[in-house]
Amino acid sequence: MKKLINGVESVLEESLNGFARAHSNIIQFNHQPHYVTRKNKPENKVALISGGGAGHEPLHTGLVGKGMLDAACPGQVFTSPTPDQMLMAAQEVENGAGVLFIVKNYAGDVMNFEIAAEMLDCPHETVLVNDDVSLPKNHSTGRRGVAGTLIVEKIVGAAAEAGADLAACKQLGDKVVNSTASMGVALTSCTVPALGQPTFDISDNEVEMGVGIHGERGREVMSLTTADDLVHILAKAIDEELKPTKDQRVLLHINGFGATPLMELYLVYDLAAQFFEERGIKIVRSLVGNYTTSLDMAGCSITLTLMDDEMLQYWDAPVHTAALRWGI
Catalytic residues: 56, 214
**Residue 111 neighbours by CB distance under 10 Å:** 13
What's the CA gap between 98 and 148, in Å, rounded? Answer: 24
Q: How far is CA 327 from CA 25, 158, 315, 317, 320, in A?
A: 17, 12, 11, 7, 8
Q: Residue 18: is it exposed, middle or buried by C-beta count within 10 angstroms (0-12/13-18/19+)?
A: exposed
Query: String of b and e for 66-82 (b: at least 16 CB within 10 Å)?
Result: bbbbbbbbbbbbbbbbb
C-alpha distance from residue 163 to each of 43, 150, 269 (Å): 10, 20, 34
CA dist., res. 166 & res. 126, Å (int):
10
Q: Which helix (H) or strand (E) holds 47?
A: strand 47-54
Nearest to 48 by CA among 126, 112, 106: 126
Pick the closest to residue 167 from 129, 128, 125 (CA basis).
125
Instruction: Give the Cα-Cα-Cα angle 124, 327, 74 (nearest 5 degrees).
Output: 40
In sequence order, which residues have a C-beta less than 8 Å from that of residue 253 and are 6 or more positions away?
A: 147, 148, 150, 151, 182, 286, 287, 288, 291, 302, 303, 304, 305
What element of type H or E holds 301?
A: strand 299-306
